[in-house]
Amino acid sequence: MSEHRRGLRPLLVGALAAILSAGVTGCAPSLEGNEPKEANKTTPARFGGGAAADGEAGTPTATSAAQKTWGELFTSPELRALIAAALANNRELNVQLQEIIVARNEASARRGEVLPRVGAGARAGVEKVGERTSQGASDAATGLPKNLGDFSFGLNASWEVDVWKKLRSAAKAAGLRYLATVEARNFMVTQVVAEIARSYYELLALDAQIDILTRNVALQTRALEVVKLEKLAARVTELAVQRFEAEVLKNESRLYDLEQERVQTENRINFLVGRYPRPVRRSAAAFAMPPPEGLRAGLPSQLLENRPDVRAAELELEASKLDVKAAKAAFYPALSIDAGAGYRSFNAAHLLTTPESLAYGVAGNLTAPLLNRAAITAQYRSANARQIQAVLRYEMTLLQAFTDVTNQLARLENLRESYARQSRQVATLGQAVEVSGILFQSARADYMEVLLTRRDSLEAEMDLVETKRRRLQAVVDLYQALGGGWRGGAEPDAASGARGAPP
C-alpha cells in the first residue's frame, strides 16, 4: 500500500504543478486588431438649428421640457384619459412588462450562482460485488453478507469560490440588463404617449377639415343655384352651370375620403388603447387652442438622463464590459469546495448509530483549462466584439437623439412661420370670395373667377388646418425626442362637452 501511494505522489505533484503553471501562464490572449473601446459621451454645448416654438426652445438652459409629465403637457381631459387608458391596457407595453419580469428572474438566478449550493438527500439500495474482487474478498473475510445494503441520508454542499469575480461579474451584468429592460419599457411608454397624442390631433384636424368641407359644399350648392338662375337670365352659359356642379360633386366625393381617414384614425387610437373599434371621445376646443409655449429643449447633455433609449444603451454597454471580465476569468484556475455530512450504513437498523454511522467529508478542487483554451479564447473574443458593438450602438443612439431634437426644433420654428403666413392667406382669400361674389352679381367678373377664388379659399383653409395639426404634432415629437412622456401624468379628469363615447 505504501509503495502504491509513493507511486501516486509524483502524479499528484505533477498535476498540481500543471494547474499552478496554467494559473500563472493562463492570462487572456491578446485582442490586437480589435481592441476594446470606450464610448464617447460628450455632446455639443447646445442644439443646432433655429429656436423652436415661440423662440424659446433652442435657448441653452438647465430646464428641459422632458422633465414635465405628460399630464402637465397635455391639458385636454379627453387626451389625458386616452393616454392613461393606453398605459394600462396597451398590449405591447404589457408584453414588455413580461420581458422585465424575465430579466429580473435571470438576474436573481445569476446572483444565486455566487452562493453555495446546499442540498439534502437520502439513499436506499442493495449491492453485490464480485467474490473475486478485492472488495468481495474483503467482505467475505469480515463475514459481511453477499447482498450488501446501502442506506444513507444527509446534507451536501458545493461552492465555487469566485476568486476572479467571474460569477459576480455575470450577476452584475444580468442586473444591468434587467434595468435596461425597464428603460426599454420607459422608451416604449414615450412612443405610446406620443402616438396617442399625434393620432388624437390628427383626428381633431380631420374633424375640422370635414366641417370646413361640409360648410363649403353648402355654400357651393347655393352658388350653383345662383348660377342656374343666371343661366335662365341668359347671363351665363350651360358651361358655367356644369363647372359649378362638378365642383360640388368633387368636394362631396372628397368628404367620403376624409370620413374614411377619420374612421381609420379612430381605430388606430382604439388599438393603442387596447380596445375594439368604438367612437373616440374628443373635444374640438383642444384643437382650437394654440400649441404650448415656452417648450424648452434644455442642454444636450440632459439627453443622457432623460432619453430612456440612451440610458438603456448605456446599461447594455456596462453589462457588456462585465461580460468581457467574466469571459476573461475563464482562463484562470477555478477553486471549488465540496462538503457533505450525514449518516450511512449497510444495515438500516444501525443507520442512526452515532458515531459509528456518522459520515462526513470535505474536499477542495482546483482546476484550470489546458486543452480547451481555443473555445474559451473564442468566447472571450466574441464577448469583446459584443462590447465594441455596445459602444457603437450607444454612440449611435446618442447621435440619433441629438439629431431628433435638432430636427424638431427647426421644424417647430418653420411651422410657426408657415402658420402665420397661411393665416393671412386665409383671411385675404376670405375677402376675395366676398369681392368675387359682388363683382359676379354686378357682371364685372365671370364665373371662372368666382369658382377659382372659392377653390383657392377652400384649399387655403384645409392647408391651414393641416399646418395646425403638424404644429401640434411637432410639439409632441419634440417632447418625445427630448425624452419626455415616461415619467407619468395626472389622473384623467372627467370630460365635459365631449362628443362620442367615453374612452
Q: What is the pLDDT of residue 61?
A: 64
Which of the four pLDDT bands, split at 50, 70 and 90, describes residue 25? very low
Buried b / exposed e over 292-322, threshold 16 CB at 10 Å, is beebbbbbbebbbebbbbbbbbbbbbbbbbb
CATH number for the domain that contains residue 43: 1.20.1600.10
What total number of domains does the chain contain?
Answer: 1
Which of the four pLDDT bands, split at 50, 70 and 90, describes residue 301? very high
Q: What is the pLDDT of residue 348?
A: 85
C-alpha–C-alpha distance, residues 52 and 61, integer Å? 14
Is residue 67 in some structural domain? yes
Q: What is the pLDDT of residue 447?
A: 75
Is residue 438 in some structural domain? yes
Q: What is the pLDDT of residue 31?
A: 79
CA distances to 114, 193, 488 from 190, rounded to whole Å, are 37, 5, 10
pLDDT in tens, 427-474: 999 898 888 888 877 777 777 888 888 889 999 999 999 999 999 999
Domain with 85 in it:
23-118+165-332+374-481
Tell me the whole-structure pTM to 2 decimals. 0.83
The average pLDDT across 181-210 equals 96
* Cell matching residue 7: 507511486
Which of the four pLDDT bands, split at 50, 70 and 90, describes residue 369? confident
Residue 4: pLDDT over 70:
no
Q: Could you tell me which residues are beta bridge partners of residue 166?
A: none
CA distances to 22, 366, 371, 463 from 15, rounded to whole Å, are 11, 10, 14, 84
Is residue 495 in some structural domain? no
Which of the four pLDDT bands, split at 50, 70 and 90, describes residue 175? very high
Is residue 341 in some structural domain? no
Residue 420: pLDDT over 90:
yes
Is residue 151 in some structural domain? no
C-alpha–C-alpha distance, residues 487 and 178, integer Å? 19
C-alpha–C-alpha distance, residues 320 and 315, integer Å? 9
**Taking Cα atoms as reference points, which of 398, 409, 401, 400 lies closest to residue 478?**
409
Residue 51: pLDDT over 50:
no
* Average per-residue pLDDT for the chain: 86
Question: By mean pLDDT, which of 25-29, 68-72, 194-198, 264-268 is the weakest?
Answer: 25-29
Is residue 368 in some structural domain? no
